[in-house]
Amino acid sequence: MTDSPSLTTPLDPKEQPILDRLLATRDKLSLLKQDRSTYIKSHDVLDLYEQVIEQVHLLNTIREGHDKPLEQNRVNNVLDDCFQLISLFFLTIGRNNEAPAVYSMTSTIRRLLDHLKEAAFYSPKDLESAGQALDSMQVTLKRGEESHSPYLLKLLRNRLDTCRQLLSALQLSLADLSLELTPTYERLVSILRSISAANTRQKFPRGEVQGFQDQLREIQATMVDGKFLAEDSTTPAGQNVATELLNRCLKWSDIVLERQGNIDERFKLTYEKLCSIRNHLEKLSITQAWSLRETDLYDYQRQLDRIDESRVNGNFEDSLGNKADLHAQRTLLYLIRRSYAYIYTLIISSEPVSEALLPVFNQLQTLRRCLLEVKRSGGVSSPRELYPYSMKLHSIDDMRVDGKFMVGADIPEGQGSVNSLLAECFDLNYELRIEAEENDSPEF
């Protein structure tokens, strides 16, 4: 396994033993990640987590003694790998609401916010989602003050602060956008992203892109003397923001139609690799409940990080140092952003349930959806129609031992979530049965 992409400085000899131990721990984490013969057990993850925290303590002692608390070198790179893996392991074992689980999310949000800033277009909804995620992580850190290392908590708070600063800067750039112009602006953002998505299809959808271009021209046609007007014919604030985005959309649609999905040959390998990553993550987002082990996201994160950080002053360059043209540059950046966005969605959608209990949890979620759909469609005409649901619920209930779902002698994380969902399904089934019995009763 190679280190996290980052600039390095020479290693202090006193830090070498720490580096060696962290490398060994990272190897153990990697092996544990690859082991599909059994589910990930909490005690295995917690043991490795404590080993990493011990090395962080030693590292801080050395650096504070040399007055270099903020130094960055290979130890930091390997430590980042360890924390990324541990964070994803905490999600895998269902401990989503504990401080270590926050680390990977802060990395992903930081990347996304950096890219939004660079792209210079985003919707208020994008920022709202990021803000909510940061607020949720802040609550998690507060909850973990008594149970987790102060070194880890300080590190995570700093990462959250960095994300909040980026978020504030992005929010400030949209501060002048009026409520009247916001729907138009968000529509432009959506069209621009749709054009970029069409640009990366295996078969270029020319008609679809032309349709987006027609929508842009319709929006442009609503302008009067180069300005967007409100319903009362006044000129709402945020003209520059919306006009610049409209012009950018029109220019990008022209470029995409001209290139018809053909990327510059110099960047074809990078393009294909990014398309592959994006496509795999897209599939995971569809089948997440049944196929995702959160630690799988680590490899995708690292591949994206390396491609992203291979740029020179923000530009993709070929082997001779020549910059990519605008089409290649924007296409590659779109694929990176889209892939990070999938990772973000997969992480925030992760359920606080151990992978050992996920099969049961997923079955109960399916049952819940079915029962809710039956309820929405008017219920059942006879209690007999509920027998399949009742039998399945009782078969799942019979799996419990003293009220707990066991795997061998282990009690996996997420008991509360699974038991709560089971109880909800029983309640729904009971309500439907009572309603059916009342409807089925003869009237005298």
Give mean pLDDT, residues 225-244.
90
Q: Which pLDDT score is estimated for 13?
A: 85
C-alpha to C-alpha distance for 242 and 82, rounded to whole angstroms: 43
pLDDT band with cut points at 50, 70 and 90 for residue 292:
confident
State pLDDT tens for residues 380-422.
Answer: 888 899 999 999 999 999 999 999 999 888 899 999 999 999 9
Q: Which pLDDT score is estimated for 198?
A: 96
Does 258 score more than 50 pLDDT?
A: yes
State pLDDT tens for residues 111-123.
Answer: 999 999 998 889 9
pLDDT band with cut points at 50, 70 and 90 for residue 444:
very low
pLDDT band with cut points at 50, 70 and 90 for residue 10:
low
Does 344 score more than 80 pLDDT?
A: yes
| Radius of gyration over every alpha carbon of the chain, rounded to an integer in angstroms | 26
Mean pLDDT of the chain: 91
State pLDDT tens for residues 130-161.
Answer: 999 999 999 999 999 988 989 899 999 999 99
Listed range (225-239, 265-279, 300-314, 337-351) with the worst mean pLDDT: 225-239
Q: Which pLDDT score is estimated for 257?
A: 97
Give the pair of three-digit tokens for residue 80. Answer: 């980042």
- Which of the pair, 10 or 341, is modelled with greater confidence? 341
In angstroms, the Cα distances linking 389 to 374, 383, 398, 430, 436 are 11, 11, 14, 11, 14
Q: Which pLDDT score is estimated for 191?
A: 97
Cβ count within 10 A of residue 86? 25
Does 67 score more than 70 pLDDT?
A: no
C-alpha to C-alpha distance for 354 and 370, rounded to whole angstroms: 24
Task: Confirm if 120 and 383 have CB atoms less than 8 A apart.
Answer: no
Q: Which pLDDT score is estimated for 3?
A: 58
Cβ count within 10 A of residue 185? 22
Give mean pLDDT, residues 78-88.
96
Of 130, 137, 143, nearest to 156 by C-alpha is 137
- Which of the pair, 431 or 442, is modelled with greater confidence? 431
pTM value is 0.89
Q: Which pLDDT score is estimated for 120?
A: 86
Residues of the chain above pLDDT 90, percent:
77
Q: Which pLDDT score is estimated for 14?
A: 85
C-alpha to C-alpha distance for 297 and 111, rounded to whole angstroms: 15
